[in-house]
Amino acid sequence: MSFWAKLATWINPPAPEPLAFKPEWIDVLVANIPLYNKLPNDLKERLHERLTHFVAQKNFEACGGLELTDEMVLTISGQACLLALNHDGPPLPMLRTILIYPSAYRATQTIARAAGVIMQKETIRLGESSANGTVVLAWDAVLQGAKNYFDGHNVSIHEFAHQLDQARGAADGIPFLKNPNRYARWAEMIETGHARLERMSEKGRRTVLDKYGATNTAEFFAVATEAFFEKPRQLSRKQPELYEELKLFYEVDPAQWFTKG
């Protein structure tokens, strides 16, 4: 049994059978996910196969008066499956439920202060990921992030990267790795990269990574994943070691998808 298939059995019970891929789904992928059009044909076929598993296994719920549509399900699923194109077993095995709001939504954040004081703060969000296997997304932000695939900002990819991170428990920027011997190298890469981005952010310097990644190592991993898929050539030039580590983890090389066209 492959690594990712074993991981799925550790986390979840046996998954439902995949759906049959419908040719009309391609129209949604082409229209809403321009990055899909960059994929070589073999990876398009691989994404189709991943998609049939993802749609069958995940629970999608519309919130805030939104009516769930196939377009929403396919646009979100297509982007999620980019992160698991060459991972064997069910894609994103920890993820169970995806909640979709029409736009930015209000969420309550619990903050622990000194002396045991607990505070609750209301925030406006476009997306969030929980270690309980839930991702929340704002549909308008999902669509904008998917269609503008050169800016390195993609709320779907960002939150699904958090899901991969949270498969080990608390989000810290260190997801499950196939080779246990790579954990030390990965942790060093994440910590060094985060510290570097933090310094550059404080100095107001431009960087290929969104400065939100300076928040902590978990956000650094999510932001780096956004850049890996949306700005791969820039990331490979500016931070080649980070790019190579992400390439090993995701088992794809997006920079090759942008060599033509």
**pLDDT (tens digit per residue) in 141-151:** 999 999 998 88
Confidence at residue 259, expressed as pLDDT on a 0 to 100 scale: 76
- Residue 3 pLDDT > 70, yes or no? no
The overall average pLDDT reported for the chain is 90
Number of Cβ within a 10 Å radius of residue 133 = 20
Confidence at residue 174, expressed as pLDDT on a 0 to 100 scale: 94
Taking the C-alpha atoms of residue 153 and residue 210, their distance in angstroms, rounded to an integer, is 8
Most distant CA pair in the chain: distance in Å? 59
Taking the C-alpha atoms of residue 3 and residue 174, their distance in angstroms, rounded to an integer, is 16
Q: Which of 12-21, 47-56, 154-163, 243-252 has the lowest mean pLDDT?
A: 12-21
Question: Contacts by 186-190 with C-beta closer than 8 Å and gap 24+?
Answer: 186/245, 186/249, 189/241, 189/242, 189/245, 190/217, 190/220, 190/221
Instruction: Check: CB of residue 205 under 8 Å from CB of residue 149.
Output: no
Confidence at residue 15, expressed as pLDDT on a 0 to 100 scale: 62
- Residue 114 pLDDT > 90, yes or no? no
Q: If pLDDT is split at 50, 70 and 90, which confidence band does 55 have?
A: very high
Confidence at residue 19, expressed as pLDDT on a 0 to 100 scale: 79
Confidence at residue 2, expressed as pLDDT on a 0 to 100 scale: 63
Average pLDDT over residues 94-100: 96
How much of the chain exceeds pLDDT 90, in percent?
74
Average pLDDT over residues 165-177: 90
Q: Pick the residue with more confidence: 114 or 136?
A: 136
Q: If pLDDT is split at 50, 70 and 90, which confidence band does 190 have?
A: very high
Confidence at residue 235, expressed as pLDDT on a 0 to 100 scale: 96
Close Cβ partners of 189 (under 8 Å, ≥ 6 residues apart): 241, 242, 245
Q: What is the dihedral of CA 207, 213, 216, 217, to 10 degrees?
A: -90
Domain ranges of the chain: 3-257
Residue range 13-54, pLDDT digits in tens: 556 777 789 999 999 999 999 999 999 999 999 999 999 999
Confidence at residue 130, expressed as pLDDT on a 0 to 100 scale: 92
- Residue 126 pLDDT > 70, yes or no? yes
Tell me the two tokens of residue 92: 């994103």
CATH (one of 3.40.390.10, 1.10.760.10, 3.40.50.300, 1.20.58.760) for 3-257: 3.40.390.10
Confidence at residue 6, expressed as pLDDT on a 0 to 100 scale: 58
- Residue 237 pLDDT > 60, yes or no? yes
